[in-house]
Amino acid sequence: MFTQRKFYTPYVSPTDPCPPIRIKSYETPPQLYLGFQPPCLPQYATAKEALYRGTLWPALYSPYESPYKRGDTGE
Would you tell me which residues interact with other proteins (CB under 8 A)?
A: 27, 29-31, 34, 36-37, 39-40, 46-48, 50-57, 60-69
Instruction: Give dist(CA 31, CA 45) in Å, integer.
Output: 21
Q: Smallest distance, Å, CB 61 to other proteins?
A: 7
Q: Smallest distance, Å, CB 26 to other proteins?
A: 9
Residue among 23 and 53 whose Cβ is closer to other proteins:
53
Contacts of residue 61, defined as CB under 8 A and 6 or more positions apart, other chains included, come to: 30, 53, 54, 55
